[in-house]
Amino acid sequence: MEVVTKYNETELVLLLRQRSQSAYGYLYENYSGALRSIIFNIVNDDELANDVLQEVFIKIWRQIDSYDSTKGRLFTWMLNISRNASIDTVRSKSFQNSKQNRELTEDVYRSGGSSEINTDLMGLRKMVHTLKEEYKVLVELAYFQGYTQDEISKSLGIPLGTVKTRLRNALIQLREIIKP
């Protein structure tokens, strides 16, 4: 009978740095669901989200020595790796090409009969995806995922003023699209 182990953050980081397989298994078991959810919200594709999640855990394994507990919690560090990997994937040429070649799925037809009101059914997300890539990513992070402008600035490595200007321009463009 296997004993269920629970680690505090300090113990977990120490064991990960020692390349403990059981600690890595614990990390995956306890954090993969939350990280996959974050990834899926950005890439919006099940198979691709799983691929990015694998890449993220490889990066965590390889880069655990660069984690600095004085700069934030382990989960925040992993979240940033996940978010950056997802954004890199969305920005990649291969993703853009596959998105252009993708066929309509049955999801389009299934959502038509629902009375649930959300941004997807209102078509807002579809409208956002017509924006320039630099605007689309910011609107996605700010309005659909709830990140602050400051968090967006830090995670994407662009100045806060640029984030604010691009978001304002994106909203102006959306307003033009929505006008009858």
Do residues 112 and 121 touch, judged by C-beta distance below 8 A?
Answer: no
- Give mean pLDDT in consecutive 10-residue pieces for the chain, a chain of 180 residues: 71 93 91 90 88 94 92 89 89 62 48 44 68 80 77 83 88 77
pLDDT value of residue 71: 87
Q: Identity (one letter) of the amino acid at 99?
A: K
pLDDT value of residue 102: 53
pLDDT value of residue 106: 44
So where are the chain's domains? 1-92, 118-180
Q: CATH assignment of 1-92?
A: 1.10.1740.10
- Candidates 123, 125, 59; CA nearest to 86 is 59
Q: What residues have CB less than 8 Å from 164, skipping those under 6 apart?
A: 149
pLDDT value of residue 90: 83
Do residues 20 and 11 touch, judged by C-beta distance below 8 A?
Answer: no
CA 176 vs CA 24, 55, 135, 139, 172: distances in Å: 49, 38, 14, 16, 6
pLDDT value of residue 98: 59
pLDDT value of residue 109: 47
pTM score: 0.53
User: Looking at domain 118-180, which of 1.20.1260.10, 3.30.930.10, 1.10.10.10, 1.10.630.10 is its CATH number?
Assistant: 1.10.10.10
Q: What's the rounded Cα separation, in Å, for the pair 54 and 75?
A: 16
Dihedral, CA atoms, 39, 146, 67, 51, nearest 10 degrees? 0
Do residues 57 and 28 touch, judged by C-beta distance below 8 A?
Answer: yes
pLDDT value of residue 64: 94
